[in-house]
Structure formats: structure tokens, C-alpha cells
Amino acid sequence: MPRVLVVNGPNLNLLGTREPEVYGTQTLADIEAQCAIRAEALGLEVEFRQSNHEGELVDWIQAASKDFGALIINAGAFSHTSVALLDALQAVTVPVIEVHLSNIYRREAFRHHSYVSKAADGVICGLGGAGYRLALDAIAETLTGKSS
């Protein structure tokens, strides 16, 4: 069963309480539970991780090619600032999908640029927690050649 690593960056541990008008009321645990159900239906195994520390995210990304068949990343604010994440993502040999809960193009101008996007095979933004499930659908199609 193909394994998918889902990496979440800073402040995503605060989902459900942090700016619900922007990020919604779902917690990261809610999104993880929904993704586990979707992954099982797609024949995938999913592992969620979250860190507020850039170096830890880099370590996880670097190890992804060895341990996982694909990577989904919501780097949070690091999307807009981290060349280190870009370098790590460019080094992996698995499909990468970038996810953002909010539509970064309807927000502050500094959020319109994402270093992560340069390394991602696809980007999903503005669809809340559903974006993660759509990323799983895309990963399943990429890995198996079959659409859901």
C-alpha cells in the first residue's frame, strides 16, 4: 500500500481556534481523521506530522523519498519565506502536492508568492480541509494511474 506523508508547518496545530474566519473551524486532528478515511478508500496509507520548527520540516522532507511514495505539504507561513524548504523539496524524488486552507491570492500581497510552489507538482488552495482530500485523490491517480 503506497504511503503518503502529510507535512504541516507552523501554527497549523492551532486550527479550529486561530482565525476561524480565515482557516475555518476544523482542527488539524479533524482533517487528519477525514484524510485517513479517504486514504483507506483510495488504497493509500497516510501519516500526518506537524511542526513549528523549520529544521524539523526539512528533516521530514529529506527522508520522504526513502520512506514514502508521495508528499503533501502545507508549510504555512514558511511557504512564503523558506528557501530551505524549497531546497529540500527539490531534492525529493516523490510527487509533491502543496495545500493551503485559505486562498493565498485573496490575502496579503506577501502571501501571493510561495517557494514551495516552485517544487510542487500541484497546488490546491482556498478549499479548507477538503484541499487535503483532493490532494490525496491526485496522489492516488499519480501513483496508480487510476482516477477515483
Active-site positions? 23, 100
C-alpha separations of 95 from 65, 68, 70, 99, 118 in Å: 9, 10, 5, 13, 13
Within 8 A by CB and 6+ apart from 62, the residues are: 88, 91, 92
- Cβ–Cβ under 8 Å, residues 85 and 57: yes
Within 8 A by CB and 6+ apart from 20, the residues are: none
